[in-house]
Chain A
Amino acid sequence: EDQVTQSPEALRLQEGESSSLNCSYTVSGLRGLFWYRQDPGKGPEFLFTLYSAGEEKEKERLKATLTKKESFLHITAPKPEDSATYLCAVQAFNDYKLSFGAGTTVTVRA
């Protein structure tokens, strides 16, 4: 069974204080690893897909990286508007569904 574990559960940052979120996974043949952002009371918003170890994707202050066992979401010089819950999910080959971690809630203080 696919398993996704995110850490930490919560992260409080000062504006400009860079940090990283971790997503550890086990899956029988990784088709893709996904990062989503979710604001309170809203549905998840797609950020990145990573397909193979060594791959990196960037979007504004966010950078996602992938190894064979885990992914990191690096937040560089965060701003208050980066406050959200970040979700990691994996999809196996020959499977339609995504398996999600419980998320990391990031709070950035001005």
Chain B
Amino acid sequence: DAGVTQSPTHLIKTRGQHVTLRCSPISGHKSVSWYQQVLGQGPQFIFQYYEKEERGRGNFPDRFSARQFPNYSSELNVNALLLGDSALYLCASSFYRTSRSGANVLTFGAGSRLTVL
């Protein structure tokens, strides 16, 4: 059974460029969340999508956007890249939309490591 898959695994961009990161959730999972992890810190929540709609947004600028497709895969887009966007971007999937729906374990992918020069 495939886990959460992310692509690309590594990429290097220059300031001002745009990047698209992709995520495929575990089969049957309808919720996808994105997290940013800067070196030496814990992951920070960026977005949650459920049934193709945005259900939550963290404290990130409008340069960050995402979407979810009918097959529940997701893309994270970052425009006008800054040096500070260099980080590991993690995607997580879960079955339920909320933690109140039941045991809602988030399973993470291996991440996409973005370096901005």
**A associates with B:** no
